[in-house]
Amino acid sequence: MLVTKEFSFAMGHRLPNYDGLCRRNHGHEYLLHVTVKGEVSTSVGDPKEGMVVDFADLKTLVKDFIDKKLDHCSMIYEEDTILKNALLEVQEGKGVTVVPFIPTAENMAEWVFNNLSDLISDNLGVELYSVKLWETPTSYVEFKASEYKNN
């Protein structure tokens, strides 16, 4: 069975090689769906009887990751040295997530998946099935377990 929890966060980024407005540093209010896969517990008397995963446990785990790495942060490509150095200096390294890829929605969804996969399986005993990341209310990308590369 699949179980999904929704999260939102505000984050800035830029696409340094893009030939349009997204080349500028800008931000979005992102929406993230985290979907896990597992079996419904049939352990009689267990507090989680009838559940795949407790929504509260999933929320706590994922929200902690979002708060540390994404929410009210700037995601910067490590080769974008001008912006990276400026933000690291101005923000004293706080709220800056430096990544080895251009922070497109596609790359971000894969990165989020890779970062959450083991965290969820190790702590909640379910498999991360997919993440959907909305960059705007009408545009999202989805990364599924079948595409997992363990980067």
Task: Please list the active-site residues.
Answer: 22, 72, 135
Which residues, in sequence order, are bridge partners of residue 33?
Answer: 6, 132
**Cβ neighbours of residue 76 closer than 8 Å, sequence gap 6 or more:** 13, 14, 83, 84, 87, 96, 97, 98, 99, 103
- CA separation for the pair 82, 84 (Å, rounded): 6
Tell how strand 2-13 and strand 73-77 pair up. parallel
Instruction: Classify burial at 50, counting beta carbons within 10 Å of its beta carbon; exposed 0-12, middle 13-18, buried 19 or more.
Output: exposed
